[in-house]
């Protein structure tokens, strides 16, 4: 039998050079709740609690020492208030992306007619599934180049009891036939594509660099808008007149993105900052 108080002390002793005290406590309580069904409040009331099988939480400690993200260790996370399974084939959903989803929901929540939505580069499916869950009378399609990512996304759709049609395709070399099969153009296209430039790697923490899929993160320094151009090309063919394109963007490329959307005949282009006052989202209304 091991005291959870002793294990928590061990977490702090072995992780303090990597994480803050608050982060370590958060990891510890997430693990005790997931592995032993003991939440923070229960432990606060009885910190002399013991567990019979500490192997799971001690194994997690070793993974944290190697900077593996807690979401991958647990195999799950929460996004926009709903659960998502995650693994190394998909990015861990970020709060900034929640803000993008919230922007779309806020603008279309009173829409009465059916909406058709395409999520490009769906990953875990967090955007597509959250939109499907929160916008009634919406048909959502989700595209990704990664077969492994689509397996995760399909599982998440089942987990959250929503219907999303998944498409395996590359946005850089799309098969028009795949999207034409949808039969009607989209009201909304949304994307959180790779946008971190290679030179920005040095700004990222090891837990991201060493674990999350680089395919979904990085773009070459000399062509940082590569995916956005491809998305705009697809949007011109597959977005309705006055349909709306929403994208999460690199905070350093807001002005470039404003010009790009204008070059592709988007009107009422709007750059939006996240809660940290960084240029993080953009939208434009297509004018055909």
Is 81 marked within a binding site?
no
User: What DSSP string describes 177-230?
Assistant: HHHHTT-S-EEEEEE----EEGGGGGGS-HHHHTTS-GGGTEE-TT-TTHHHHH
Is 83 annotated as ligand-binding? Answer: no
Cα–Cα distance for residue pair 155/204, rounded to 1 Å: 29
Name 181's Cβ contacts closer than 8 Å, sequence gap at least 6.
none
Whole-angstrom distance, CA of residue 247 vs CA of residue 240: 17
Residues 189/234, Cβ–Cβ less than 8 Å: yes
Q: In the 8-state DSSP scheme, what is residue 92?
A: P
CB 243 within 8 A of CB 187: yes
Q: Is 194 annotated as a binding residue?
A: yes
124 marked ligand binding residue:
yes
Nearest to 213 by CA among 73, 88, 86: 88
Spatial distance between the Cα atoms of 230 and 260, rounded to a whole number of angstroms: 11
Question: Is 206 annotated in some ligand binding site?
Answer: no
> Does 241 belong to an annotated binding site?
no
* Residue 144, annotated as binding a ligand: yes
Known binding residue 254? Answer is: no
* Euclidean distance between CA atoms 283 and 225, whole angstroms: 15
Q: Which residues are annotated as a binding site for S-adenosyl-L-methionine?
A: 121-125, 144, 192
Q: Which residues are annotated as a binding site for substrate?
A: 192-195
Q: Which residues are annotated as a binding site?
A: 121-125, 144, 192-195
């Amino acid at each position: 039998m091991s005291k959870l108080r002793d294990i928590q002390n061990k977490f702090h002793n072995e992780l303090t050079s990597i994480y803050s005290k608050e982060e370590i406590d958060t990891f510890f309580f997430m693990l005790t709740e997931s592995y032993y069904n003991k939440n923070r409040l229960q432990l606060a009331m009885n910190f002399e609690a013991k567990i019979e099988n500490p192997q799971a939480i001690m194994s997690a400690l070793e993974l944290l020492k190697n900077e593996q993200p807690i979401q991958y260790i647990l195999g799950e996370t929460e996004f926009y208030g709903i659960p998502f399974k995650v693994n190394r084939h998909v990015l861990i959903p970020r709060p900034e992306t929640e803000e993008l989803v919230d922007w779309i929901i806020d603008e279309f929540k009173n829409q009465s007619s059916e909406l058709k939505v395409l999520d490009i580069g769906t990953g875990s499916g967090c955007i597509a599934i959250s939109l499907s869950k929160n916008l009634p009378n919406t048909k959502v399609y989700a595209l990704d180049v990664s077969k492994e990512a689509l397996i995760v996304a399909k599982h998440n759709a089942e987990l959250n009891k929503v219907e999303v049609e998944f498409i395996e395709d590359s946005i850089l070399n799309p098969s028009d036939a795949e999207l034409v099969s949808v039969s009607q153009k989209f009201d909304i296209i949304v994307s959180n594509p790779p946008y971190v430039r290679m030179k920005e790697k040095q700004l990222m923490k090891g837990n991201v660099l060493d674990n999350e899929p680089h395919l979904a993160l990085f773009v070459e320094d000399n062509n940082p808008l590569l995916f956005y151009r491809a998305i705009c090309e697809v949007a011109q063919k597959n977005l309705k007149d006055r349909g709306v394109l929403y994208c999460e963007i690199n905070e350093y490329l807001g002005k470039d993105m404003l010009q790009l959307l204008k070059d592709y005949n988007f009107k009422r282009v709007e750059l939006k900052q996240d809660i940290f006052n960084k240029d993080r989202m953009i939208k434009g209304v297509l004018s055909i």
